[in-house]
Structure 1
């Protein structure tokens, strides 16, 4: 649990951690996700002593909800599923066997 958190944040941390464990996430990763979520919420609510600009100016982790998941090629890159759908609409052959990077190249994306 993040240092300096109140009872509400402690309950939030435990709830998020328990949800992730139920989803099959290993305990270390579940703790990390819960701590990062609580810390960002604390920063956005002005409850933390230090806060980065990205923590305070960005959308809340609950609202974001995985919108950036699978983005190993940049923070604003589309997911593999989104690229696959674009490739399907364009009729690109062999798309089901392509990796995310291959789909991006086939679609002419950086």
Structure 2
């Protein structure tokens, strides 16, 4: 947490981190999730000096509540698939649609 954070944000950070650990995230990933969530909330409420456009215009973390987790009935979003394809070095990914990305990633796993 940034220096000078309020007690409320410290409690929020710990709660989010503990929840992520309970879900089975690694300690490092749990800290990252908590920090990003709290920093976004700080930006939305005007507590931070700088804020990204997505932090201010996007729906709040509480409202989102896992809507973009990629675990719903339609699976990961196009952006999530595209980023994974980029990390795995799938060629031609920019010309692929969601289903093509899914198939290319499945083939890359084998």
TM-score by length of 1: 0.64
Describe the superposition over 1:63-85 as per-residue Cα deviations: whole angstroms up to 9, x where unpaired. 1122122345226xxxxxxxxxx
State the distance in 2 between where 1:3 and 1:25 align. 25
Q: Does 1:73 align with 2:78?
A: yes
Whichever of the two has the greater Rg, that structure is 1
- CA shift in 2, pair 1:47/1:22, >3 Å: same
1 CA distance for matches of 2:47 and 2:34?
A: 16
Which stretches of structure 1, 4 residues or more, deviate above 4 A after TM superposition? none
Relative contact order (alpha carbons < 8 A, sep ≥ 6): 1 or 2 greater? 1
| Bigger fraction of residues in helix | 2
> Size of the alignment, in residue pairs?
81
Which residue is equivalent to 1:101?
Answer: 102
Aligned-residue Cα RMSD (Å) equals 2.4
Task: Give the conservation status (yes or no) of the 8 Å contact 1:21–1:30.
Answer: yes
User: For each residue in 1:34-79, what CA deviation from the matched residue of structure 2 results, as whole angstroms up to 9, or x when unmatched?
Assistant: 000000000000000000111011111121122122345226xxxx
Q: Secondary structure at the match of 1:11?
A: helix
